[in-house]
Amino acid sequence: MTTNAESAQRPIIRPDLLAALEDGGHRITKPRLSVIDRLSRKKGGFKADDICDELPGVGRATVFRTIKLLLDADVICKLTLPDGTPMYSAALVHHHHHTICVKCFRIGEFRHATIERLLRALERELPGDIIGHRIEIFTLCGECEETR
């Protein structure tokens, strides 16, 4: 039988995060595994500085480089809070948009047919090719709304 302390120590590795590094030909070092483990445990958004604080044995440069590699592989997303602070979120589906609670910074993912139709229409109407876009909707989540 395993105790809670034992299961808390076991690494949790999201296969897509690990595969992103492997597929890119990047070495899988213990510090990178620590970063991936920490990111795999996150239920919502995170700040790179918080990951650095949570992993004092891993260098800041390693944390930021690993996050950059995962961003480049499209398995995590970079978001910008209203004050300009960067935040990150693991991408649960490939094409999606985000909601960000302005109080607790909880991040949600969504897709909406109307937005998708608008994007297809823009693709037909705009000169050139759309190579990317980002939609972030700032909200007050249900939990924060209840405590207001």
43-97 pLDDT, tens digit per residue, is 778 999 999 999 999 999 999 999 999 999 888 889 888 888 899 987 766 677 8
Please name the residues in contact with 112: beta carbons below 8 A apart, sequence gap of 6 or more: 97
**Cα separation values, 116 from 10, 43, 78, 127, Å:** 40, 26, 20, 18
Half-sphere exposure in the Cβ direction for 138 (13 Å, CA): 8
Domain 1-91 indexed as CATH 1.10.10.10? yes
Alpha-carbon distance 90 to 29, whole Å? 20
Q: With a threshold of 0.85, does the pTM exceed it?
A: no
CATH topology of domain 93-148: Dna Ligase; domain 1 (3.30.1490)
pLDDT confidence band for 14 (50 / 70 / 90): confident
Per-residue pLDDT of 110-132, as tens digits, reads 878 888 888 888 889 999 888 77
H or E element at residue 56: none
